[in-house]
Structure 1
Amino acid sequence: MRIFITVILLFSLILPAQAAVMLIYHHVADNTPRVSSVTKEELRGHLQYFKDNNFQVIGLDLLIQQLQQGLPIADNAVVITFDDSFENNYTAAHPILMEFGYPYTIFISPGSIDDRVGPVLNWDQVKKMAADGVLVANHAMHHERMARPEPGESEEDWLKRMEQSILQAEQRIKEETGQSHQWLAYPYGEFSNALEALVERLGFIGIGQQSGAIGPATKLTRIPRFPAAGQYADLKDLAQKLRTLAFTITDYLSADQVISANPPTLRLRLEIKDFLPQQLRCYAGSEVLEPVWLDANTFEVTASKAVNRGRSRYNCTAPSLSKRGYFYWYSQQWLN
């Protein structure tokens, strides 16, 4: 076994990672909430790091094409995205990204732009960005919470309302920019099994805010993204996330964000080829969760205490055998 692992590690420097990392930004400013912001200097530092370390910054359109068609994913691929339609995406971020020549995507809520809600882009700015090659995609019509019905709302009425929000936003984007990619970034990263089913039925791709790498088996209604703002803007933290791999998950047995029990149980079935099962660890905050293996490919974890109200997460990792310094990473967001 030791000889086998040693041979794999000798080849690790030439093996492609077969994984992409998608980053999510919001504000690019020094006078906005730090938790969702990077400064212009930090953004420039990130882009320079990608360039200096031979990361391939690719468009989300190329990544989606590779996933849908089963094509190889570019080694060390990075996808850049922005959420929430903020005007500083145009005034601060756009010139820097154009300077580096890097493609990126903005997820916008057309209703917020139409109604001038907050410091948001206007349509002239969106059109100028689109003309420069920026991909413009769907963040729901009014940035509403989408994962579950409102109190007193039936599931049927909720699903109709969500369908209307998705399709109306897509239509407004097409009217203003000519683009219609059918990619939905869930507001707040919140979704549920029922919402995923709707997204799939409508022919859309669903993109979350749970952290993790993207690989050939990534489910196209819950594509993960790593945050790159606030405390996560530090290059040491970001550098490790850029060197993550995607678990090959074959069944999400118990992984609905909307919890039915507290603490919730995460149960996944996955392929085990490039990591040792005994090295897989999950975390609920600072608590280490020892996986319970139900069979050779299925594990579950449950925290010892109830998760907090609102959003919380379990994160699961395992070191790669074939890629020195790389870790498999999966994050499960919970909505309580």
Structure 2
Amino acid sequence: MLVVFQRQAFTKILLLVAVLPALLAAGCLPQKELALSGKTMGTTYHIKVVAGLFTSAESLQQDIDARLVAINRSMSTYDPTSEISRFNAIQNTAETFSPSADFLKVLTVAAEVHRLTEGAWDGTLDPLITLWGFGRKGIVDQVPDQAQIDQALAHVGFDLIEMDKSGKMRKTDPAVTLDLASIAKGYGVDAVSRLLGDKGFENFLVEIGGEVFARGHRKDGKTWQVGINRPDRDAAFTDVYKAIGLTNQAMATSGDYRIFFKVGDQFYSHIIDPRTGWPETSGVVSATVVAANCTVADGLATALMVMGPEKGVALVDGLPSVECLIVVRQPDGRFVDHPSKGFILER
């Protein structure tokens, strides 16, 4: 019986070896869906990858974590040794700073988003973010006086940072500082997506802190479905307001319903208007942007919160391959949707 068993096993192995090249050529090898998760940039990430049966989830997650650690070391204002912290520490206008490739890519997109939104998005809000209690010093639960706001505003403006053709940076105001939190998560999503693409994966979903990029399809061949959180302060993270089908696109959502403090009957959100120094008052409670990459989507979503529905939709309608859904809460609590011309929900 032992000899018969060995012969049967050997025959199966020969058949597998013979069939394997044909399966590879036809792309018919069995696949699995890997689910990876972890922490980064003060939030969490969740990744789904359609992969071959023999793909190592542990090895892939190590590569992803290493990539995210490198980005965080570049752009975290909570790390005093990070690249952005070292730039912020510069105290004179003569000193130049040579950014890494990651930092330079983010700054290049940031400058374009600042230009497109006419300053509604600004990466130099660091002193105002701190003043309002949404930065490194923690929530202060009190409204600063106008003199403090004006003092901080005097050192806000993305045009106070210059970059030459070689990429070297220089401050024209020694007190200007950067905070790229409203665009860095999107860049992290793009970086991980590039990593997965470079490794040959064609179907995956990458999410960091609610910002998403989807490539290809799910294991069952269906479109990736991504939910927009219901923009209520008491809504669970799993409470879906709208669902969007994504394929080879990024999506980012900004809202006023998660990070805020209340004084009396007034709520103050973490979305600061760079033009006034005050939390946005456009009436927008949620802004979702779908774009080719998540860095752009992340920055634009924040800007649309400040710009309001009319100007925001008008901007997006003029941009190629960009769509949006801006949600406004009415005085009676109802939500009113303001979609761009090509915005599509479930597919």
TM-score range, shorter chain: under 0.3
Higher relative contact order (CA 8 A, sep 6+): 1
Q: Which has the larger radius of gyration?
A: 2
Instruction: Please give the TM-score of this superposition, normalised by the length of structure 1.
Output: 0.27
